[in-house]
Structure 1
Amino acid sequence: MKKVIFFLSLLLVACKQPTTKVSDESIFNLTSTWHTEEGKSIQLKDLKGKVLVVVMIYTSCKVACPRLVADMQDIRKKVGNNDKVQYVLVTIDPETDTPEKLKAFAISKGMDGDEWTFLQGNPETVREFANVLSVKYKEISPMDFSHSNIISVFSPGGDLLHQQEGLGVNNRETIAAILQAAGH
């Protein structure tokens, strides 16, 4: 009987998933609630355990956001299929970009797979997250914003590893940061 208990104990230890530590600087310490394009309510800590590639956009943007979306798609293509990486697009226009609108946008851009997550918060949640990312934005007219163009890479524990600023830039450093954080 002791051998069976010992074997089961070893099996439990071997099967236990490694825990991802969260530092004081982790985005997973933010307790805000978000809505996904699927209509689910989540907190950022629900994304823990994967390398996060994050950008802030809004779906009615006609200038910078289409380029940011193309950059994210390019990064995803060059990283390849990797279940350790999650691509997250956060709207800076939560009043207009409902979960339903985000879902339609995701489908229209071919970004509706499991590796893509679109988030809608409330104005305070979005402002808090933008401040953490050093993303600046300002409403300049109804449905039009001036905003920073930054793609951020976070470790599985939610620590900022890399930021890429600009549109249509070479994504080589961002891809290298993602692959290194994902263990490749």
Structure 2
Amino acid sequence: MKKILLGLLIILAGIQHCNSQEQTPERLSEAGEFSGLSIYNLPSRWTTQDNKEIEMKDLKGKVLVMVMIYTSCKAACPRLIADMRHIEQRLPENIKKDVTLIMVSIDPETDTPKRLKAFAKENKMEGEQWLFLRSTEENTREFAAVLAVNYKKITPVDFSHSNIISVFNTGGELTFQQEGLGVSYDETVRNIIAEAAKHH
């Protein structure tokens, strides 16, 4: 299983800037399986801010917009959170139900479901479209590799980390990434809308 997972991660990481449309998500869903480039193949389990356990495949059928953060971050994360809120605000009302905006914690020890729930409330991210996830350190590292996010603990309470927003289509395939803080997210919004429009 480890070798299979490692191979999948290498493949997923390798297409971070590609737009793969080899199979339609509809065909994959009907077949009950996903393309080899889909994060829905990952077996890791995650806990939400509502203390529910899920797998990535439980998110199928939605366009996913993801960032990796940690709630005690005082530098980059508040900007990433603000960017995610602004992206959500710019989505047309008719597609918001087709999009899930996901914050994945890189500090699962601190970011318990209770802490994530409080953080969501503090940042006015309590609607159904917002999802906060935490898992084990191993699962978090593996998933960071898929997103090409690098992070490192530099003090007991601080991490250095990449600032990347990733968009996945409804089949769980990475279609777009935006890197940096304070940059225009027009293209990110266009990509989300385009992916959601394919299923209307």
TM, length-normalised to structure 2: 0.81
1:120 to 134, 145, 158: 134
How far apart are residue 80 of structure 1 and its match?
3.6
Who is 1:40 aligned against? Answer: 52
Who is 1:182 aligned against? Answer: 196
Larger radius of gyration: 1
Who is 2:18 aligned against? Answer: none
Is 2:148 the partner of 1:134? Answer: yes
Aligned-pair identity in percent equals 55
TM, length-normalised to structure 1: 0.88
2:66 to 40, 44, 54: 54
Q: Unmatched 5+ residue regions in structure 1?
A: 1-16
Who is 1:102 aligned against? Answer: 116
C-alpha distance in 1 between matches for 2:100 and 2:84: 11
1:152 to 150, 160, 166: 166
What SS is found at the alignment partner of 1:90? Answer: strand
Check conservation: 2:47, 2:133, Cα contact below 8 A.
yes
Q: Residue 64 of structure 1 aligns to which amino acid in structure 2?
A: A
Who is 1:63 aligned against? Answer: 75
The total of aligned residue pairs comes to 168
How far apart are residue 18 of structure 1 and its match?
7.7
C-alpha distance in 2 between matches for 1:174 and 1:143: 31
What SS is found at the alignment partner of 2:79? Answer: helix
C-alpha distance in 1 between matches for 2:107 and 2:126: 20
CA RMSD of aligned residues (A): 1.3
How far apart are residue 22 of structure 1 and its match?
1.8
- For residues 98-138 of structure 1, the C-alpha deviation after alignment (integer angstroms, 9 at most, x for no partner) is 00000000001000110000001110010000000000000
Q: Residue 38 of structure 1 aligns to which amino acid in structure 2?
A: D
C-alpha distance in 2 between matches for 1:133 and 1:84: 21
Q: Residue 94 of structure 1 aligns to which amino acid in structure 2?
A: P
